């Protein structure tokens, strides 16, 4: 399997995106979910061609992206979404909020499963709902799963929706088909809506392919809305294009009820890049997934050798690693100490859920092996200096 090599640090530091402008130059920045790999050549060429023809107006609607994604999903995932049941918007977070606004009343409970991507807490409240936290079952040692009895209890107590992270950020869980089937049955029984954030789905490893929620069952199609994008898999977050996908009349009513302006929020460059990625980017994506696989295994070896006692479970998907750093004795938010003492930036665990995130941090694996090795060495040196 071919690999995609990350750009060298001197090149990366010329980037002006958040990952490379939030910290001082001596910091290795591994918190923000941006990849260090060069853009897929078909995507780069499509964007260059758009510039050459001054094609910088409004995006022409959802159909081009929807059709490109439908073909890609059919071939790669065995999923055949109907392009006519896709509404594009700027990004996945915006899509989640717009869906929630149409399926809950102000104050209704919305289930999320910590440790979870921190903006989920705010997306629920932005949509007018109240957060109902049902932490994942299991843990690093035995693996995670959805707490289905906890979710059932939340629905029984009045929660009207759930934002599912499929695959799960930050732990890299790919929920099992059987769990998704049961979740869909619960949604049907309580007439709830599952908003499935699948932006990391295309980054699942071959031995644990993710299951698109809308393929699970009739109940999932009736009660689910998928929100996804090329943004994570192809490193296009700054180009602003995402899809809200439905598979039933109930779901269609959710999209159809959105303000007209929602569909105009996708950017022209986001549309152009997404179409190029879905049509011509599969080979590049395979190389990225292989590089991430190498790094998730390298991290396990590095931790065993240099930071024994730090707990880590290789993610089944995403390029993110959830680390239990409690053994270092660096308090509730060890990322703060790692930044100060090791000059390594990680995403602080408590933001992913105060109770389950204490002592933890999230690390971005989508970098060169050299950067990953240097980061772990710096943390180990900072630990040793503290002991001395």
Low-confidence ranges of the chain (pLDDT < 70): 386-388
Inter-axis angle of helices 249-256 and 92-103, nearest 10: 110
Q: According to the model, what pLDDT value does residue 43 have?
A: 98
Q: According to the model, what pLDDT value does residue 386 have?
A: 64
Q: According to the model, what pLDDT value does residue 177 have?
A: 98
Closest CA to 337 of 122, 329, 213: 329
Q: According to the model, what pLDDT value does residue 280 have?
A: 98
Contact 322, 299 (CB under 8 A): no
| All domains in the chain, ordered by first residue | 9-39+282-387 (3.90.1150.10), 43-280 (3.40.640.10)
Contact 91, 237 (CB under 8 A): yes
Contacts of 245 (CB under 8 A, 6+ apart): 81, 85, 86, 214, 225, 226, 227, 228
DSSP one-letter string for 43-61:
HHHHHHHHHHTT--S----
Q: According to the model, what pLDDT value does residue 387 have?
A: 59
- CA gap 295, 314 in Å, rounded: 10
Q: According to the model, what pLDDT value does residue 385 have?
A: 87
Say whether 112 sits in a helix, a strand or coil: strand
- 176-182 long-range CB contacts below 8 Å, 24 or more apart? 176/145, 176/211, 177/211, 177/216, 179/145, 179/146, 179/148, 180/211, 180/213, 180/216, 180/220, 181/216, 181/217, 181/220, 182/148
Closest CA to 358 of 327, 324, 382, 328: 324
pLDDT digits (tens, 9 = 90+) for 244-295: 999 999 999 999 999 999 999 999 999 999 999 999 999 999 999 999 999 9
DSSP count for the chain of H helices, then E strands? 15, 15
């Amino acid at each position: 399997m071919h690999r995609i090599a990350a750009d060298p640090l001197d090149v990366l530091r010329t980037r002006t995106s958040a990952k490379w402008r939030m910290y001082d130059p001596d910091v290795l920045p591994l918190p923000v979910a941006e990849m260090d790999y060069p853009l897929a050549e078909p995507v780069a060429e499509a964007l260059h061609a758009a510039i050459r023809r001054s094609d910088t107006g409004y995006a022409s609607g959802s159909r081009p992206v929807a059709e490109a994604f439908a073909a890609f999903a059919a071939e790669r995932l065995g999923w055949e979404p109907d392009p006519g049941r896709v509404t594009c918007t700027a990004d996945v977070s915006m899509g989640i909020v717009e869906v929630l606004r149409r399926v809950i009343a102000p104050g209704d409970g919305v289930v999320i499963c910590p440790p979870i991507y921190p903006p989920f807490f705010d997306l629920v409240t932005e949509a007018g709902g109240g957060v109902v936290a049902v932490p994942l079952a299991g843990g690093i040692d035995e693996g995670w799963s959805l707490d289905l009895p906890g979710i059932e209890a939340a629905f029984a107590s009045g929660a009207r929706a759930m934002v599912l992270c499929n695959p799960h950020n930050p732990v890299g869980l790919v929920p099992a088909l059987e769990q998704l089937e049961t979740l869909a049955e619960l949604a049907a029984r309580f007439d709830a809506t599952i908003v499935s954030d699948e932006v990391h789905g295309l980054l699942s490893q071959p031995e644990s392919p993710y299951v698109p929620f809308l393929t699970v069952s009739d109940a999932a199609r009736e009660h689910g809305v998928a929100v996804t994008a090329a943004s994570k898999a192809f490193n296009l977050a700054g180009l602003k294009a995402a899809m809200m996908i439905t598979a039933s009349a109930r779901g269609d009513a959710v999209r159809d009820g959105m303000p007209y302006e929602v569909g105009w929020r996708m950017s022209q460059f986001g549309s152009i890049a997404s179409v190029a990625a879905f049509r011509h980017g599969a080979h590049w994506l395979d190389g990225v997934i292989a590089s991430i696989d190498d790094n998730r295994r390298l991290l396990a070896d590095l931790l065993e050798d240099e930071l024994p006692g730090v707990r880590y479970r290789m993610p089944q998907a995403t390029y993110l690693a959830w680390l239990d750093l409690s053994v270092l004795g660096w308090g509730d938010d060890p990322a703060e100490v790692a930044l100060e003492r090791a000059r390594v930036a990680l995403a602080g665990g408590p933001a992913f859920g105060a109770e389950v995130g204490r002592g933890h941090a999230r690390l971005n694996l989508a970098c060169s092996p050299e950067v990953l090795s240097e980061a772990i060495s710096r943390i180990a040196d900072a630990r040793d200096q503290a002991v001395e």
